[in-house]
Structure 1
Amino acid sequence: MQPFVYNALPARVIFGWGTVSKVADEVKRLGCSRALVLTTPRQVEAGEKVKADLGELAVGIYSNATMHTPMHVTQEALAKAKELNVDCCVSVGGGSTIGLGKALALHSPDAAKIKNVVIPTTYAGSEATPIIGQTENGKDGKPLKTTQKTTKVLPEVIIYDVDLTLSLPPQMTITSGLNAIAHAVEALWAVEANPIISNLAIQGIEAIGRSLPLIKADPQSRDGRADALFGAWACGTCLGAVGMSLHHKLCHTLGGSFDMPHAETHTVILPHAVAYNAPYAQDAVARVANALGVSNAAQGLFDLAKDNGAPYSLKALGFKEEDLEKAADIAAKAPYPNPAPLEKAKLLQLLTDAFHGTRPE
């Protein structure tokens, strides 16, 4: 047994079927009475239903949550929150909406911090983390995504309602699920890895790995959806408890600097990041393979995406081949912990393989 340090994160988690009906009680429990519902433009209908559940506790809805949490969107939402004298937000949706809720908590004054109740409708897992990624223009005028870790953005309450995920489209289900698995995979080889989080990571990988074929066969599978949602919480908790490495750095580079879609990019990059680190993290990678029931973790993750209809190449996502070298440059510049040495030439090869959708060796 290796020495370790484990920091438990404070959170209240409610999991089940029909649990969204508890949202008003949870807002009251926080001592709040003026809730702003957050959604993306595509999820307004779901947001309106939650607003109705809140009744007189809801003072409005903001429906412009955007991928990668741009600062101009945050400022717009903060202005609305100030106008409505909001004391909490209820974030309904996936990573974009959850990110905005975190941003409101981060940028509101400490004395009047906007509390956050999250109702996830995807499997991204970001609701369980004290991490926020935000995008604004960098020195060259192009988008630059930065991340920050602070318990100020950790939601006070997470309400997992399996029923709300039944309508999640199959392809979004697989990309969202693999996005969550990525958190657990990197937790296993993190510098701060510990047996508590590592065991949770394995549970998360197993749960999502068995859920995705069930959901592909029957998108209304309650067992499959419950496994996926539990796995999302488990994997997200891993992301919040320990540091991330190469995979997340590459995805933040591609998302923040090249506006690539979040979950889809995680899906494409993950098998190649695992293959890159495999010689230097053999035990962690073997545990991933065992959790998935395969002999090769990188190939198993690639096949899980491809066999379930998810994208498996950056080219299919619209990435430009001429941007590969620039992406490798950005990823190689900032130092960060990783099992394998970070060499630009090897990072470029990783990205090239991901661009073409080459199955890892």
Structure 2
Amino acid sequence: MQFEHTNLPQRVRFASGEAATALAEEVTALGASRVMVIASAAERELAGRIAAGLPVTHWHHDVAMHVPLPVAERARAAASAHEADALVCVGGGSTTGLAKAVALTTGLPILAVPTTYAGSEATNVWGLTQNDHKTTGVDDRVLPRAIVYDPSLMITLPVDLSVASGLNALAHCVDSMWGPRADPVDRALAAEAIRALRIGLPQVVTDPTGLTGREHTLYGAYLAAVAFASAGSGLHHKICHVLGGMFDLPHAQTHAVVLPHVLAFNAPAAPEAEQRIAEAFGSDTALGGLTRLRAEVNAPAALRDHGMPEEGIPAAVEAVRGAVPAGNPRPVTTDRLTALLRAAWEGAEPR
């Protein structure tokens, strides 16, 4: 056995009902005195409660999915105009992504308070969209200095969004099994994350206001993101980044739909990873375990239900072909990729 593994430097605080206290302590530890709080309009009230005691110089609510470049530029200008010395982001992946876009050019430190299971807060990956094209990159400047995880903040996240967001986290696990930099540590983290998500997500569906399911799911989402940050984007994420940027599709739902099709495509060519995933699901096969979980939580099934046009499939295939990561377990041809995307568009059985 031989590998190289890098742990990203980041503090993680995980406790239900402690978000405001933990965040205040992290701001003090950072020595920040002019905090810019980034939260979408939907999270305005929540952010106001969590950050009420902070030295806030600006409340920024101009947030958009996939971080369009003009939105990022307005946030960067606001940080400069208000002389912010730290960023606090309260929200899901779009909000965290906007904070990262500001940090990318300003170097400002980020403190993240997630309200979904997106996992972006635990990675040094950034993304920006311009002219229907999403560009991603890796830069340590965008890694939040600390994450404040409070599972009680997830209780108001609707069940359907919780399911899609949790399956997005599960996609991080699957890609971490065969990503371009995947190593044994990543695979171990991903397997534990699958186990936690398999336990937590059905409980979120049956008892949305219960903390046990929310805690398992959030714990799993964090581990999944840590594994993914190390392993790098595999085929699944390359597909979803293309689809999201090209057609402005909802991020979590796109991942939830595409995941079983990529798993069905790659698993036969990666038997060791397939076995690890199956064992984490407590199933005979990886796809069988994922299929069972998807049925339990009523997962999104078709890209056409979320705004992808059928006539966009050929253009998407062409764009994905140019982004396939080296070392994918199975060769990706135009015909195979077309069949995969058409099945995902239709909501057909993965094959």
TM range (shorter): over 0.9
Give matches, 1:288-327, under 5 Å: 288-327=277-316
Q: Is the 8 A contact 1:134 1:146 kept in 2?
A: yes
Q: Does 1:124 align with 2:118?
A: yes
AA at the equivalent of 2:341: L
Aligned pair 1:280/2:269, yes or no? yes
2:246 alignment partner in structure 1: 257
Q: Residue in 2 aligned with 1:17?
A: 16
Q: Does structure 1 residue 343 correspond to structure 2 residue 333?
A: yes
Question: How do 1:141-152 residues align onto structure 2 when only pairs under 5 Å count?
Answer: 143-152=132-141
TM-score norm. by structure 1 comes to: 0.94
Give the secondary structure class of the aligned counterpart of 1:324. helix
Alignment match, 2:94: 96
2:13–2:22 contact (8 Å) kept in structure 1: no
Q: Which residue of 1 aligns with 2:62?
A: 64
Q: What is the CA deviation profile of residues 87-141 of structure 1, one whole-angstrom value per residue up to 9, with x for unaligned ones?
A: 1111001100000111111011xxxx2110000011011100000111112xxxx
Displacement after TM superposition at 1:59 (Å): 1.4
Residue 81 (structure 2) aligns with: 83
SS of corresponding position for 2:52: helix
1:9-34 CA distance string (max 9 Å, x none):
10011011122122122111111111
Instruction: Map Cα deviations across residues 147-192 of structure 1 (whole Å, 9 max, x no partner).
Output: 1011111000100011111111111111101101111111111242
Q: Is the 8 A contact 2:247 2:307 kept in 1?
A: no
Q: Which residue of 2 aligns with 1:352?
A: 342
Aligned to 1:163: 152
Question: Where in structure 2 are the equivalents of 1:87-236 lying within 5 Å?
Answer: 87-108=85-106, 113-137=107-131, 143-236=132-225
| Aligned-pair CA distance for 1:325 | 1.1
Q: Which amino acid in the other structure matches residue 39 of structure 2?
A: T
| Compared CA separation, residues 32 and 203, structure 1 to 2 (3 A) | same
Q: Which amino acid aligns with 1:18?
A: G
Deviations, residues 266-311 of structure 1 (Å, cap 9, x unaligned): 0000000011111211111221122112233234324423431331
> What amino acid does structure 1 have at the position aligned with 2:275?
A
* C-alpha distance in structure 2 between counterparts of 1:183 and 1:40, whole Å: 24
Deviations 1:169-224 (A, max 9, x none): 11111110110111111111124222222111111111011101111110012111
Whether the 8 Å CA contact 1:131–1:149 is kept in 2: the answer is yes
Deviation at 1:253, TM superposition (A): 0.5
What TM-score do the two structures reach when normalised by structure 2? 0.96
Bigger Cα displacement from structure 2, 194-203 vs 345-354: 194-203
Pair 41,302 (structure 1): closer, same or farther in 2 beyond 3 Å: farther
1:320-348 CA distance string (max 9 Å, x none): 11111111111012342211111111000
What is the rounded CA distance, in whole Å, between the counterparts of 1:85 and 1:323 in structure 2?
Answer: 43
Alignment check: 8 A CA contact 2:283 2:289 kept? yes
| DSSP-derived class of the 1:52 partner | coil
Which residue is equivalent to 2:44? 44
Q: Return 5+ residue gaps in structure 1 as ranges.
A: 138-142
Structure 2: gaps of 5 or more residues: none
d(CA) in 1 for partners of 2:249, 2:202: 26
> Secondary structure of the equivalent of 1:148?
strand
Q: Which moved more, 1:295-304 or 1:331-340?
A: 295-304
Is the partner of 2:53 in helix, strand or coil? helix
Flag the 1:334–1:216 CA change in 2: closer, same or farther, 3 A: closer
Distance 1:299 1:359, change over 3 A: farther
Identity of aligned residues (%): 40
Across the aligned residues of Structure 1 and Structure 2, the Cα RMSD in angstroms comes to 1.3
**Residues 271 and 297, structure 1, Cα contact 8 Å, conserved in 2:** no
Quote the Cα distance in structure 2 between the aligned partners of 1:317 and 1:303. 22
Q: Distance in 2 between matches of 1:82 and 1:132?
A: 20
Note if contact 2:178-2:231 (Cα within 8 Å) is conserved in structure 1.
no
Contact 2:270 2:329 in 1 (8 A): yes
Aligned 8 A contact 1:306 1:312 in 2 = no
Deviates more, 1:188-197 or 1:144-153: 188-197
CA contact (8 A) 2:186 2:228 kept: no
Q: Does the CA contact (< 8 Å) of 2:238 and 2:323 recur in 1?
A: no
In the alignment, the residues of structure 1 paired with residue 26 and residue 38 of structure 2 have an alpha-carbon distance, to the nearest angstrom, of 16
